[in-house]
Chain A
Amino acid sequence: MRSHLDAELRETEEYLAQMADLVTGALAQAGEALLTTDLDLAQAVIGSDSRLDMMQREVEERCLSLLLLQQPVATDLRVVLSSLRISMTLERMGDLAAHLATVARSRFPAPAIPEAARGVVAGMIEAAVHVSEQVRELLRSRDLDLAAMIERDDDVLDNLRDELYQIVLDSTWAGSAQNTMDITLTGRYLERFGDHGVSISRRIEFLVTGDIYSGESSVTLAGDEVR
């Protein structure tokens, strides 16, 4: 029984790591499609999103089965609960990569991001890919220092998003309404992508420590505040 549970947990964790690989690849490709106006790449990202949806459902079914049949406790329970949430978050991150690709595809053959905003958008894409790579590493290592670093690095994305919005809010902005929408949505998608990375880092903190993040403090399952 125990060896079966161990095998199931390992497979679920491996599934999440594979999802993170796909998300990282999808975001990098979507960013490239956006900056280089590459229609084929954008199509490929949009087309591959269904695979992440399928994997998310697979993780959900595995976790449901483990809860029903194995009634896990302690670390085992935290792995199952965290896997459920993390798989949903990774699936959302995949959606955001697909949204970016959709922006790129919608404006083809024109570039979706005007020259004035390309530098900041490129910076956001780089920062978001970095978050995604860190998440991928975190899922394998469960390193709490890395989890804390992801939270800090998310600030880079928030600041770049503010910088991006400032471009379209500036009185000298001469872009079209469509440009304004595309830039705003792109900034929003990438900033949310980073937020999801932070969400996963908190899930890993819970998995390792048992502390549930709730705003400024954490609580245990027994309801005690721990910091």
Chain B
Amino acid sequence: MNIIETKDLNLHYGEFQALKNINLDVSANEITALIGPSGCGKSTYLRTLNRMNDLVHGVKIDGSVRYRGEDIYAKDVDVTVLRKRIGMVFQKPNPFPMSIYDNVAYGPKLHQKMSRSAMNDLVEQSLRKAALWDEAKDRLKKSAMSLSGGQQQRLCIARALSVSPDVLLMDEPTSALDPASTAKIEELMGQLKQEYSVVIVTHNMQQAARISDRTAFFLTGDLVESGPTADVFSRPQDQRTENYITGRFG
């Protein structure tokens, strides 16, 4: 089942066209990896999926992005609710300067009133899902800044999960992490797809090959090719994909 469907999507930053006629679907409970060289449009595409590009001055978008059949660019869409359903994890861990507990509780508090015990449960569940509970349970009131980089990134994932999203967008979530922390995040992503749909931008092609079910290759704003990851990495259909993944450019 497709949870997100993109049709004929074009995006301009002023005169510059960053996305050209993109047609790409995101399947439910799968990890979709977006790969391509710097400036290819993969992060721009990711940000169109929860309207993060709305914040960019001079951006113009046409075509359609449908989330569970609904046009996310329709006039009556509440962007805050959309971003609750389609959460985002960024390249650099960006915990709020507050306690571990408050980082996770921050989002839910915005959206609904909850009892203390219900909030405690939600924080615990979110940290467990982000594979951080065992490391953080005895220091929940400590500053999030005291965590390591890898732990901070998992905290950001816990924060995204705390508002019960449906889709997680991840923009190079491990590029600032060491190999051990990267391995933990990758393992975590494998677990998360049981409940969520994940779209990840990555520069690391081995990572895309290891963790994703489907891979989409972007180049200069075009979606060159997408398909099952095993196919894209074993027998790409387009010579440009072959050249990129075999290191001939990029």
Q: Which residues of A contact B (CB under 8 A)?
A: 1-2, 5, 71-78, 209-211, 220-224
> Taking the nearest CB of chain B, how far is it from the CB of A68, in angstroms?
13
> Taking the nearest CB of chain B, how far is it from the CB of A113, in angstroms?
46
Contacts of B209 in A (CB 8 A): 73
* Stretch touching chain A among B2-10, B147-155, B239-247: B239-247
Select A5's contact among B229, B234, B247, beta carbons within 8 Å: B247
CA distance A224 to B230 in the complex (A): 10
Q: Is the CB of B165 closer than 8 A to any CB of chain A?
A: no
Contact residue range for chain B?
10 to 19
Contact B247–A74 (Cβ < 8 Å): no
Q: A2-B247, A2-B248 are in contact. Are A222 and B231 (CB under 8 A)?
A: yes
By beta carbon, the residue of chain A nearest B235 is A210
Q: Mark B211-250, 1 if CB is under 8 A from A, else 0.
A: 0000000000000000111110111100001100111100
CA distance A222 to B232 in the complex (A): 9
Q: A78-B234, A221-B231, A222-B228 are in contact. Are A73 and B248 (CB under 8 A)?
A: no
Contacts of A71 in B (CB 8 A): 206
Q: Is the CB of B205 closer than 8 A to any CB of chain A?
A: yes
Q: Which of A2, A76, A221, A222 has the most CB of B within 10 A?
A: A222
> Taking the nearest CB of chain A, how far is it from the CB of B29, in angstroms?
17
Contacts of A5 in B (CB 8 A): 247
> Taking the nearest CB of chain B, how far is it from the CB of A142, in angstroms?
14
> Taking the nearest CB of chain B, how far is it from the CB of A89, in angstroms?
21
Contact B247–A222 (Cβ < 8 Å): no
By beta carbon, the residue of chain A nearest B231 is A222
Contact B246–A75 (Cβ < 8 Å): yes
> Which secondary structure dominates chain B's binding surface?
helix
By beta carbon, the residue of chain B nearest A208 is B235
Contacts of A220 in B (CB 8 A): 230-231, 234-235
Contact B230–A221 (Cβ < 8 Å): yes
> Which secondary structure dominates chain A's binding surface?
loop
Select A74's contact among B227, B228, B229, B245, beta carbons within 8 Å: B245
Query: What 7 pairs between A and B have smallest CB-CB spacing?
Result: A210-B235, A222-B230, A221-B234, A222-B228, A221-B230, A73-B233, A222-B231
Select B235's contact among A1, A72, A209, beta carbons within 8 Å: A209
Q: Which residues of B contact A (CB under 8 A)?
A: 205-206, 209, 227-231, 233-236, 241-242, 245-248
Q: List 9 A-B contacts (CB under 8 A).
A: A1-B247, A75-B242, A75-B246, A77-B233, A77-B234, A220-B234, A221-B230, A222-B229, A224-B231
CA distance A124 to B246 in the complex (A): 43
> Taking the nearest CB of chain B, how far is it from the CB of A70, in angstroms?
9
Contact A76–B246 (Cβ < 8 Å): yes
Contact B234–A210 (Cβ < 8 Å): yes
Contacts of B206 in A (CB 8 A): 71
Contacts of B234 in A (CB 8 A): 73-74, 77-78, 210, 220-222
Contact A73–B230 (Cβ < 8 Å): no
Contacts of A1 in B (CB 8 A): 247
Select B246's contact among A74, A209, A221, beta carbons within 8 Å: A74
Contacts of B245 in A (CB 8 A): 73-74
Contact B242–A74 (Cβ < 8 Å): yes
New A-B contacts (11) at CB < 8 Å, excluding given A72-B246, A220-B234: A73-B205, A73-B209, A73-B234, A74-B246, A76-B246, A77-B234, A209-B235, A220-B230, A220-B231, A222-B228, A223-B230
By beta carbon, the residue of chain A nearest B205 is A73
CA distance A71 to B247 in the complex (A): 11
CA distance A72 to B233 in the complex (A): 9
CA distance A71 to B229 in the complex (A): 16
